[in-house]
Amino acid sequence: MAGQPAMPAPGAHAVSARAGKGAVGWLYKRMATERELSRVVRASREIAAGDGRVFELIADPAQQPRWDGNDNLAAAPAGQRVRRVGDVFTMALTRGSVRENHVVEFEEGRRLAWMPAEVGRRPPGHLWRWELEPVAPARTRVTCTYDWTQLTDKKRLPRARATTADKL
């Protein structure tokens, strides 16, 4: 529309017309860039099991290596069932290292998300989220999201890029 500021193209920030005249431009509310969107990988599948049963497999880290599609999880000590935001559980990876997983989202039976980190260190900014939606008494839609938009550890970038929806 004439006289209205143009909306920025995807992946860009908009500045006011004044910016071209030497003034500091005003940024519109930050929009997700194409780069950020490509750093969120999501896959959904309908499972022939009730949501409670499925959630128990996700919330118990000792069960996760049985069904890990990313071929990354080796083992987790028993007795670490997640119950709330703030819980931390440990997991041994197939490459031999151990990760502390910091729970950042939790809704019993519906949603669980954590941020992995090296033992004793802060999470470098990637997140795993599981969301469950009952579709019938014995059927559940399970959505797994791997979000690495905030990943700051450059040595993890190749593995993050290699994590595709088919591996979730």
**Domain membership flag for residue 33:** no
Structural domain of 134: 42-167
What is the C-alpha to C-alpha distance for residues 29 and 39, in angstroms, rounded to an integer? 20
Is it the case that residue 137 has pLDDT exceeding 50?
yes
**Domain membership flag for residue 84:** yes
CATH number at residue 157: 3.30.530.20
**Domain membership flag for residue 28:** no
User: What tens digit of pLDDT does each residue of 28-37 get?
Assistant: 334 444 455 5
**Domain membership flag for residue 29:** no
Q: What is the pLDDT of residue 11?
A: 35
**Domain membership flag for residue 75:** yes
Is it the case that residue 14 has pLDDT exceeding 80?
no
**Domain membership flag for residue 3:** no
Instruction: Supply the DSSP symbol for 60.
Output: -
Higher pLDDT, 19 or 147: 147
**Domain membership flag for residue 122:** yes
User: What tens digit of pLDDT does each residue of 53-78 get?
Assistant: 999 999 999 999 988 877 789 999 99
Angle (nearest 5°) at CA 122 between 120 and 127: 120
User: What pTM was computed for the model?
Assistant: 0.74
**Domain membership flag for residue 26:** no
User: What tens digit of pLDDT does each residue of 74-113 get?
Assistant: 999 999 999 999 999 999 999 999 999 999 999 999 999 9
What total of structural domains would you count in the chain? 1
Task: State the pairing for strand pair 73-75/127-136.
Answer: unpaired
